[in-house]
Structure 1
Amino acid sequence: MLIVISPAKNLDFESPAKTKITSQPAMLKEAKSLVDICKKFSAPELTDLMGISNKLAFLNAERFQEWSPPFNDENSKQALLAFNGDVYSGLNATSFTESDLKFAQDHLRILSGLYGILRPLDLMQAYRLEMGTKLKTPKGDNLYKYWGSLISEKLNEVLKESKDDILINLASDEYFKSIDLNALDVTIVRPIFKDQKNGKYKVISSFAKKARGMMARFIIENRLNDPKDLE
C-alpha cells in the first residue's frame, strides 16, 4: 500500500533531526521554477495572494529569497520531521525507529504545493505555498495546472516499482485534487474519520487530521499491506 498525506503550514526547523538518513526531492527543478516566480512578490503581494497576515507574508517573502539548493543537513531538514501540524502530531515521526523511517520512505508520500511530492526523508527548506494557491505560472493560473500530470506520473512510478495497486488517501481534498485519478490504475481507499457530537457523527477537522496521522503511523509501525487490516 502507498499512503498519501498533506503537508502542514507549521514547520519545525529548530529541533534536531533524529536521523542522518536523507534523500533529495524528485521534482526540485519544478520547485525552483516556482520559487523563482514567488521571489518576485513583495510581502504585501504575498498577503493578497495567500490570504495571510503581514507577519507571515514577510516571513515567507524572506523564505523564498533564502531558498537555495543544493539541500544538505545544514540548510534543510527531512520533510516528515519538518512538518508540524495535526496530521504530524498523530504520526509522531520523532518516535519512529530507523526501520520505521525506512518503511515510511517506501510507503508514504507527502503532497506539496511547492515540491509536488515528497518522500519522508527528502530534504526540504522552509516554505508556505498551499496547493490551492492561485499562483500564475507559464502553465496556467493555479498550482493544479502547474503540476498537471507530474504528481500522478511520479505516483505511478512508485506503485509500479513496488508492484502495489492500493493507494490510501489520507490527504485533504485540496491536495488530493492534484492527482489525476484517470492516470492511476489503482484501488483508492479513502478513510473518513467522524466524531460523535450532540448525538450525530460529524467530521471535526482537527480530530480528523490527527486521526489521519495516527492511521498512517499504524500502517507504518505494523508494516501493513492489505487495506482489510484497517477495518
Structure 2
Amino acid sequence: MLVLLPPSETKSDGGRGVPLDLDRLWLPELTSTRRTLVDALVALSADVDASRAALGISPKQLFEVERNAALLTSPTAPALARYTGVLYDALGASAFTKAQRARADARIAIGSALFGALRATDPVPAYRLSGGSTLPGLPTLRALWKPDLSEAITAAAEGLIVDLRSGTYQQLGPIAGAVTATVLTEQPDGSRSVVSHFNKHHKGLLARALTVTRAEPSDARSVARVASKAGLRVEVASPNEVVVLTDSY
C-alpha cells in the first residue's frame, strides 16, 4: 500500500543533510522536470517582486524567496520531517516507534509541486512552490507534470494507492483506481457538509491509522476497517472513496 499525502505550505527550517541531490530522490524518471523547476525557482528568486507575484506571498513571507534562492546550497531534511502543519501534526510521525517508522518509510509518499512526489525519507531543502503556481516562462505545473507523474507513481506503487492529496495536487498527477477520502461534518439533524477547518486534521488521523497498522489494506472496505479500528467514523461511499465523518462543533 502507498499512502500519498499532500505537501504543506509550511516547512521546517534547517536540516542536517547535504545539499539537494536530485539523483537521490524517488522516481528518477522525474529528474528532468525537477531540475527545470529548481533552476527556474532559483532564477526567479533574483527578482523579489516577480517572486511575490508568481508564488502568491506577502511582504512578511520574503523569507520564502530566500529559501528558494538557496535551494541548491541549503541543508536538507527527510521529507516527512520537512513538511509541517495540521495534517502532519495529526500524523504524529515524530512519536512513531521504530517499527512504525519503518512502515512509514515503506508506505508514505508526499505530493509536491516542485518534486512531483517524494518518499518519506527523501532529503529535501525548505522551499516555496504551490500546486497552483505558474513560473515565468514555463507551462503550468499541471502541464509540466502530466502524464509523467501519474505514470511514475502508478508504476512504483505496490498494491493499493490511497490518495489523500488535495484536488490541486491530484490534478498534477491523477492516479486511476486510487482510493480517496472525503471529510464531512454531520449535523445533529443528520445533514452533512464538506469540512474545511478539520479536513487536514482528519486526513492526518487517517494517514496515521494506515501507516501504523500491521494490516495491508487492498481496497476501500479494508481502508475503512483500519480507520474504524483507530477510532474514526468512516463509511465506504464507492469502490474508490471513503468518507470520514466528524461531528459538528
**TM-score past 0.5 threshold:** yes
**Match for 1:153 among 148, 151, 154?**
151
Give the percent of matched residue pairs that are identical in Structure 1 and Structure 2: 24
Contact kept, 8 Å, 1:44 with 1:54, in 2: the verdict is no
Tell me the alpha carbon deviations over residues 144-165 of structure 1, each in whole angstroms, 9 at most, x when there is no partner: 1111222112212222xx3x1x
Contact kept, 8 Å, 2:11 with 2:82, in 1: the verdict is yes
Q: Residue 178 of structure 2: SS of its match in structure 1?
A: strand
Question: Which residues of structure 2 form unaligned runs of 5+?
Answer: 18-22, 225-249
Contact kept, 8 Å, 1:43 with 1:54, in 2: the verdict is no
* Shift of residue 104, structure 1, vs aligned partner: 1.9
Q: Give the match for residue 208 of structure 1.
A: 199
Q: Please give the alpha-carbon distance, in whole angstroms, between the structure 2 residues aligned to 1:176 and 1:65.
A: 27
Q: Give the match for residue 223 of structure 1.
A: 214
After superposition, the CA RMSD in angstroms is: 2.4
Q: Give the match for residue 66 of structure 2.
A: 62
Q: Give the match for residue 191 of structure 1.
A: 181
* Shift of residue 124, structure 1, vs aligned partner: 0.6
* Shift of residue 85, structure 1, vs aligned partner: 1.3
Alignment TM-score, normalising by the size of structure 1: 0.82
Alignment TM-score, normalising by the size of structure 2: 0.76
Q: Higher strand fraction: Structure 1 or Structure 2? A: 2
Alignment of 1:83-98 (within 5 A): 83-98=83-98
Alignment of 1:104-119 (within 5 A): 104-119=104-119
Tell me the alpha carbon deviations over residues 156-196 of structure 1, each in whole angstroms, 9 at most, x when there is no partner: 2222xx3x1x2212110010111244xx4xx3211211123
When the two structures are aligned, how many residues end up with a matched partner?
A: 211
Structure 2 vs 1, CA of residues 173 and 6 (structure 1 numbering), >3 Å: closer, same or farther? same
Q: Please give the alpha-carbon distance, in whole angstroms, between the structure 1 residues aligned to 2:126 and 2:187.
A: 37
Tell me the alpha carbon deviations over residues 13-54 of structure 1, each in whole angstroms, 9 at most, x when there is no partner: 35889xxxxx93234553232121122321211211122102
RCO comparison, higher one (Cα < 8 Å, 6+): 1
